[in-house]
């Protein structure tokens, strides 16, 4: 059984190749049962996220969430991914789960942006400054290489400034901003990766032609965009599960601003050519993701197959 630590996993998942791997997996499909959630006493929660393709590979991501770790200077979340042969059940690899999750999440956003963002997009705004947000420019530039100016906003300005400095050190034209409304109004792509529980982006700020990418709100109680964003945009989701989990969609539907039946498509129907894409340079588009074990399996296979080659 091969073992890939965080550094090795990161190196094995170049963004352009990962976007292509996700596209191929959404075309072919795989079995994705409901995740298992178990309480570990009062200390934490274990999530088991399986996916497989019969006769090929089986993968299980184990995610341990122990909120009390922060008091001891430890991350609250740890994850590992185990890949097996789906014919024999033999273990093939153990892979860093945190790197798989972060990189496949932004790669899914980039996959959607390839169909939904304007081809002439040049200005990207990242809302958030955490682990996932930090990877957004790399992912978006894999499908929109013309993105030349990167801005970042965070409710803690110092974190935004630090992230912008990191991007500049990587050769990007990046800067931190404090005026979120102005930044949204001027952006071609707005990507939100936060844990917000109340809306950050207002629909009235979205200029014609903007693509809004919502990554962070993965529970009904969370929300990054107000109901007016849903009212003004054509909407796509990563999987139908988003309609049951994403606070942005559920809250807008409750307010009468969004009809779930109006969703234009999913990543699977986009990848198979069964869903409409951006129809004009002026329309506003919105992509909402909550994540799926299909993406984890695609990433894990890319890591393992690359090592075998």
Distance CA 34, CA 37 (A): 10
Residue 74 pLDDT? 87
Check whether domain 116-290 has CATH 3.30.930.10, yes or no: no
Percent of the chain with pLDDT over 70: 100
Question: Which is nearest to 35 in space by CA: 235, 286, 244?
Answer: 244
> Rounded distance, CA 286 to CA 262, Å?
12
pLDDT digits (tens, 9 = 90+) for 231-248: 999 999 999 999 999 999
Q: What is the pLDDT of residue 160?
A: 97
**Pairwise CA distance, residues 100 & 8, whole Å:** 11
- Topology, domain 2-100+294-308: ornithine cyclodeaminase, domain 1 (3.30.1780)
What is the Cα–Cα distance from 239 to 229, expressed in whole angstroms? Answer: 19
Segments making up each domain of the chain, as ranges: 2-100+294-308, 116-290
Q: How confident is the model at residue 70 (pLDDT cuts 50, 70, 90)?
A: confident
Output the average pLDDT for the chain: 96
User: What would the mean pLDDT of 97-114 be, rounded to a whole number?
Assistant: 97
Q: What is the pLDDT of residue 295?
A: 98
The average pLDDT across 67-91 equals 93
Across the range 94-117, mean pLDDT stands at 97
Burial class of 254 by CB neighbour count within 10 A (0 to 12, 13 to 18, 19+): exposed
pLDDT digits (tens, 9 = 90+) for 152-190: 999 999 999 999 999 999 999 999 999 999 999 999 999
Cα-to-chain-centroid distance, residue 253:
22
Q: Whole-angstrom Cα distance, residue 128 to residue 216?
A: 9
**Least confident among 34-48, 95-109, 135-149:** 34-48
Q: Bridge partners of 96? A: 80
Alpha helices in 133-203 (DSSP H): 136-143, 157-169, 180-186
Helices (H), the chain: 6-11, 15-28, 97-116, 136-143, 157-169, 180-186, 227-232, 242-245, 247-254, 267-271, 293-308
What pLDDT is recorded for position 75?
Answer: 85
pLDDT of residue 158: 97
CA-wise closest residue to 137 among 290, 288, 15, 223 = 15
pTM over 0.85: yes
Q: Identify the pLDDT of residue 298.
A: 98
> What are the helix and strand counts (H, E) for the chain?
11, 13
Tokens of 269: 């129907």
What average pLDDT does the segment 7-17 reach?
98
Tell me the pLDDT tens digit for each residue of 37-51: 999 999 899 999 999
**Closest alpha carbon to 190 in 245, 126, 131:** 126
């Amino acid at each position: 059984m091969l073992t890939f630590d965080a550094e090795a996993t990161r190196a094995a998942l170049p963004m352009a190749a990962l976007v292509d791997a996700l596209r191929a997996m959404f075309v072919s499909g795989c079995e994705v049962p409901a995740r298992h959630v178990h309480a570990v006493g009062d200390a934490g929660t274990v999530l088991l996220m399986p996916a497989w393709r019969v006769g090929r590979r089986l993968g299980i991501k184990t995610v341990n969430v122990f909120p009390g770790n922060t008091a001891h200077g430890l991350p609250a979340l740890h994850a590992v991914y185990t890949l097996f042969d789906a014919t024999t059940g033999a273990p093939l690899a153990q892979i860093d789960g945190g790197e798989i999750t972060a990189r496949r999440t932004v790669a899914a956003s980039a996959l959607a942006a390839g169909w939904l963002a304007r081809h002439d997009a040049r200005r990207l705004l990242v809302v958030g400054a955490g682990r996932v947000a930090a990877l957004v420019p790399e992912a978006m530039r894999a499908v929109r290489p013309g993105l030349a100016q990167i801005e970042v906003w965070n409710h803690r300005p110092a974190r935004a400034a630090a992230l912008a400095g990191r991007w500049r050190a990587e050769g990007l034209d990046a800067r931190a901003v404090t005026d979120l409304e102005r930044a949204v109004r001027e952006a071609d792509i707005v990507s939100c990766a936060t844990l917000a529980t109340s809306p950050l982006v207002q629909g009235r700020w979205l200029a014609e032609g903007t693509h809004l990418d919502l990554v962070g709100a993965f529970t009904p109680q969370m929300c990054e965009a107000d109901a007016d964003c849903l009212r003004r945009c054509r909407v796509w989701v990563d999987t139908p599960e988003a309609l049951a989990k994403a606070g942005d969609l559920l809250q807008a539907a409750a307010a009468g601003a969004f009809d779930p039946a109006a969703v234009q498509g999913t990543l699977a129907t986009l990848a198979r050519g069964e869903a409409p894409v951006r129809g004009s340079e002026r329309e506003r588009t919105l992509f909402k993701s909550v994540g799926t074990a299909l993406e984890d399996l695609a990433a894990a296979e890319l890591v393992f197959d690359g090592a075998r080659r």
